[in-house]
């Protein structure tokens, strides 16, 4: 079944149009237009920029009816990378947050995750009461577990590292991450290792030439 998607103030609908699972049903360019169209069209998913001419993308979510917003999957696609914006997005139920600029593959990964979640919900809720396992699958928002950063690591910097890792999409090594965030390779590796320990990142050794393998890190996929 096709998943109905709407874009808000974005220039990357062409990315979505080539994804087999999604069908574009509308496009808005202001906050007011977004609220009206979402209420009218009832899409399954929206791609949402935070910087709109009249009010923010977060305000769009606030103005939606509670019934509609609770059923809506939101992929934030924005240049907003400050901690307050990320926390506010999480508080409003945003589970996918892509920082501009990003590669098309990063957006496709988020769309794949949304499609898997959509299929899981449909399979487990067809006219029957849910068992505990099905409830857990639907309720679970991410594969993260709360692990406080060890001494010497900053929570604010940790969020910056995690956002950079998410925007990288296909994965990075510690050196590449250090260049993206602006820190030493050793510090970047400590933050990446902590994200792996917390379940928020995955590590894959890459074997190539002689010497030790290069560790590649990726943001951990969300549970379906």
Render pLDDT for 210-219 as a digit per residue (tens, 0 to 9): 556 678 888 8
DSSP state of 151: T
Determine how many CB atoms are found less than 10 A away from the CB of residue 129.
Answer: 7
Q: Are 115 and 191 in contact (CB under 8 A)?
A: no
Question: At the topology level of CATH, where does 3-139 sit?
Answer: Rossmann fold (3.40.50)
Q: Which of 115, 113, 96 is nearest to 1 (CA)?
A: 115
Tell me the C-alpha distance between 88 and 98, whole Å.
15
Q: Are 129 and 62 in contact (CB under 8 A)?
A: no
* Separation of CA 117 from chain center: 13
- In this structure, which CATH number among 2.40.10.10, 3.40.50.10480, 1.10.10.10, 3.40.1360.10 belongs to the domain 155-219? 1.10.10.10
Between CA 114 and CA 124, with CA 120 as vertex, the angle to 5 degrees is 150
Q: Are 217 and 136 in contact (CB under 8 A)?
A: no
Find the range with the poorest average confidence among 59-68, 120-129, 168-177.
Answer: 120-129
Tell me the C-alpha distance between 93 and 216, whole Å.
29
Distances (CA, A) of 30 to 83, 90, 197: 24, 22, 40
Please report which confidence band the pLDDT of residue 195 belongs to, taking 50, 70 and 90 as the band edges.
confident
- Which whole number is the average pLDDT over 196-219? 75
Q: Are 202 and 223 in contact (CB under 8 A)?
A: no
Domain ranges of the chain: 3-139, 155-219
Between CA 211 and CA 215, with CA 213 as vertex, the angle to 5 degrees is 145
The predicted-structure confidence for 8-64, as pLDDT tens digits, reads as follows 766 655 566 678 888 888 888 898 999 998 888 888 889 898 888 898 888 888 888
Tell me the C-alpha distance between 27 and 63, whole Å.
18
Q: Which helix (H) or strand (E) holds 164?
A: helix 155-168
């Amino acid at each position: 079944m096709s998943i109905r998607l709407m874009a808000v103030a974005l220039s990357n609908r062409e990315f979505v149009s080539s994804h087999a699972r999604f069908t574009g049903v509308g496009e808005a360019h202001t906050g007011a237009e977004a609220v009206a169209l979402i209420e009218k069209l009832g899409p399954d998913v929206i791609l949402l920029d935070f910087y709109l001419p009249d009010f923010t993308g977060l305000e769009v979510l606030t103005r939606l009816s509670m019934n509609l917003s609770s059923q809506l999957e939101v992929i934030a696609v924005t240049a907003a990378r400050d901690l307050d914006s990320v926390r506010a997005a999480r508080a409003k139920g945003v589970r996918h947050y892509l920082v501009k600029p990003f590669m098309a593959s990063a957006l496709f990964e988020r769309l794949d995750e949304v499609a898997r979640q959509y299929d899981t919900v449909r399979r487990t809720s067809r006219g029957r009461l849910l068992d505990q396992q099905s409830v857990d699958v639907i309720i679970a928002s991410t594969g993260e577990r709360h692990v406080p950063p060890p001494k010497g690591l900053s929570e604010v910097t940790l969020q910056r590292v995690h956002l950079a890792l998410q925007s990288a999409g296909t994965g990075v090594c510690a050196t590449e991450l250090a260049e993206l965030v602006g820190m030493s390779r050793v510090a970047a590796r400590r933050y990446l290792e902590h994200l792996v320990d917390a379940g928020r990142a995955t590590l894959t050794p890459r074997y190539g030439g002689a010497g030790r393998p290069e560790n590649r890190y990726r943001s951990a996929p969300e549970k379906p």
